[in-house]
Every structure is written in structure tokens, then in C-alpha cells.
Amino acid sequence: MSKHLADEYLNREDALIASDLAQRCVQCGFCTATCPTFQITGNELDGPRGRISLIKGVLEGNTPTDVTQKHLDRCLLCRNCETTCPSGVQYGKLFSIGKKLVDEKVKRGRFNQILRWLLRKGLTSSLFSVSMKISKKFRLFFPKFLKNKIPKNPPVLIKSKTNTKLIHKSNIIKTKVLFLGGCVQPSMLPNINASALKLLRDCDFDCIVAPKTCCGAIKAHLDDKKGSIEEVKKNIDSWWSYIKFDNIKYIIANASACSYEIKKYHELFSKDSPYYFKSKKIVSLAVDLSEILPELLSGLKKQLPEKKRGKLAFHPPCTLQHGQKINGVIENIFSELGYNISTPLKDSNICCGSAGTYSVLQPKFANILRNNKLNELKKINPEIIISANIGCISHLQSGTDKPVMHWVEVLANELENSQRC
């Protein structure tokens, strides 16, 4: 691979990996047709093939510029291209390394640096919860671009206390799990976690609620790889005692972006790292909440009366369908339970534009993609739009008055209503 690398990268492991990945691309262009940003701009450099060419150029010694950085920054990292690629190119891994190499050489403008710093520190801060509560109260007085990032206070459908340990009243413990509530979700949309815990406990799961923490994705996506790895190490240290002493079967995240990030923990450590073995164990236990839906089905059928239920439009997040390759599970279970559930006939594989902090850093592209997605979802004429990731939910809700919810909220609400009867 050395013939493809500039001298400065010959002894860098990450550059060697990137070079190897880049050579696997055969430039067929299948990915271009499914790239959301290419669909908007029509610019080859705003598609995976073009971005790979830019990264290869940097690896071979070309000096990156702010234009190089601009085209890389526009990438949503939705991984639709990975699903499409016939050669199996690991674009996400290649892109992350290439972007890091470019950011090392191209200094960002002052405003962009400050914005990224605020997002890194603010979203993962213990003060975020307080600031979100205040922001919700004064939401009407914010300018539109900020108001869209602050969820309206939805009606509290599920009243579930997230105690450190709470066993279902029947004391029949089928499965013990470690439940991860996330960092921004408890403050922005707390009903999601309450709903997930209700669903699990009503189906006789013993839920241990982990301390509030970030999975590491926010800092990783905002050019702070070192900070991200430190967060991951803290998580591993915190969760290890539960794994070691509590016989945990699953580590459950109900935001698909979080479950996807956790499933990549082992990639962050070399085999001689003391965290490598532990990270592999955590990855083996990590699941998205949707993955255990089939285990919950019989319990749900026993508790919910058999009847035809509402019409739902489902937006599968990129981190679910492309990142984790989880497809059809939610739709199939909801159909079994009597719901009329559909995904859009057109572009159901395309990103909604949320992509973590992308909707803040690239609002023009994010809003175009959001509006396109909502247009397709509304064609289904649903009562409720559902998804599986807080970023997608809040982003889509900012563009419509139609209710946008996590799928688990719908099921928990059904359970709550059936138990009142």
C-alpha cells in the first residue's frame, strides 16, 4: 500500500487502513445515485465516489483546502452508500479517517470552531437538562432556527420512574438487562425512556438503569476523537460491574444512533489495550431495543386486546437500516399487533437530514432533506409518524404539526390504555 501514500503517512496506522479501504472502491458510481447530498447539489464531490477521490488525493500528498473540508462536512455519514456498494467498501470508516486527516491540516473559521465547541460541551454537560427545561418554557420567544431545535412539551403519556433497580411486580424475572437512557434524550423527550421501561417491565424484564451518560457519538462527530474515547472508557468502566456481577443478558439502547455507536466500541482499541476485551464483551451484549421486539411479542399479545389499530408511517433511521442492517423488524411486529404501518414508497432509504449535529451545522441541506422526507411520509396519510431515534424524531417534528413519536411510545401508550380498562 505504500506506493499510494505520501511519505508523511507511511508510518501512520490510520492512514494505512484508509489507503487500503480506498483502493477497494472501483468507482462504479452505484453509491452516487443513493447519496442524499449528491441528489441536492448534483456535484460529484458531494457524493461518496467524489469524497473518496478527495481522501485518496490527501493520502497521496495533495494539500487539502477549505473546499476539500466543505465537501467532506456535507456528508451526513448515513451509510446509504455502504448498503448500495457492490464492492463492500467500508465508506464510514474510510470517511472518518480521511476527515480527521483533513481537519488536521485545514483550520476552521472562528464561528465554526465556537459552534462545534458549544455542541461538544453543551450537549454532554450536566447543565443541559436545566437549560433544556428553561428553553422549553420560553420556546415561543426564541428565533425560528433555535425554536426548531427545542421540542414542544408533549403530553406525558407514561409515568414511569427510572429507579436504579425496579423489578416487575410479578417477580418473574425472565431477562435481566442494562438500560441506557442516553445523554440528551432524558431532557429533550423523557417520555421515550419512560415508555421503553414500561414496555420492558410489563413484559417481565428486570431493568437496571445505567447512570446518565453519552455513548461517545457527539464528540466523535465533532472532531474530538480523544474526548469521545475517554467517554467510551468511562462507560466501559461503569457498565462492567453490572456485567460482572448482575448476569446481564442485554445492554439496551432505545436510540438507534446510540446502539450503533456502542456496537463499534471494539474498533476504538488495539488488541493489547486493557479495554479491548471488555469492549468486545459489551459489543456482544449491545442491542437496539427493536432487536428484542420478537421476544416481547407473545407478552404484548397477551396484554393487548386483538383489534385493528391506527395507521402509522415509519421512518427507519439510517443508523438502524444502514448502520446496523436492522430492517423489517418494527414493521412486522406492529403489523402482528394490528397496526396499519407503512414506509414511504419512494426514498425510504434516504436520510431525513438529522444526522446527529448535522442539522445544526448544515441547516440548509438538513431542512431540504427533512421536507422531502415529510412529503413522502405524509402521502401515507398516517395518524402518527414513528421512528427509532431521537434525532430523527425531533428533526422531523420541527417541520410538521403531525405527531412524530418513537415507536416504543405508541406501544407503551397501548399498554397503559389497556390496563386502565
Q: What is the pLDDT of residues 252-295, one digit of tens each?
A: 999 999 999 999 999 999 999 999 999 999 999 999 999 999 99
pLDDT above 70 (res 144): no
Q: Has residue 308 been placed in a domain?
A: yes
Q: Has residue 80 been placed in a domain?
A: yes
What is the residue range of 81's domain?
Answer: 2-105
6 in helix, strand or coil?
Answer: coil
Q: Has residue 156 been placed in a domain?
A: no
Q: How confident is the model at residue 421 (pLDDT cuts 50, 70, 90)?
A: low
Q: What mean pLDDT is predicted for residues 46-50?
A: 95
Q: Has residue 272 been placed in a domain?
A: no
Q: Has residue 296 been placed in a domain?
A: no
C-alpha cell at 221: 462527530
Report the CATH number at residue 381. 3.40.50.1860
Which of these three, 77, 105, 133, is where a domain ends? 105
85-113 pLDDT tens trace:
999 999 999 999 999 999 999 999 999 88
With beta carbons less than 8 A apart as the criterion, state whether 263 and 283 touch.
Answer: yes
Residue 329's region, left for phi above 0, alpha for psi from -120 to 50, else beta, is: alpha
Q: Has residue 320 been placed in a domain?
A: yes
Q: Has residue 181 been placed in a domain?
A: no
Report the CATH number at residue 94. 1.10.1060.10
| Beta partners for residue 319, in sequence order | none
Domain count, the chain: 2
pLDDT above 60 (res 168): no
Q: Which segments of 343-406 does DSSP mark as H helices, in order? A: 358-361, 363-378, 390-397
Placement of cell 473540508 in the chain: 69
Q: What mean pLDDT is predicted for residues 110-121?
A: 88
**Which pTM does this prediction carry?**
0.89
Question: pLDDT at position 169, please?
Answer: 47
Which of these three, 52, 76, 105, is where a domain ends? 105
Which of these three, 56, 77, 105, is where a domain ends? 105
Which is nearest to 264 in space by CA: 293, 284, 237? 284
Q: What share of the chain is helix, strand, coil (3-state, %, to 5)?
A: 55, 10, 35
154-163 pLDDT tens trace:
544 555 443 3
Q: Has residue 12 been placed in a domain?
A: yes
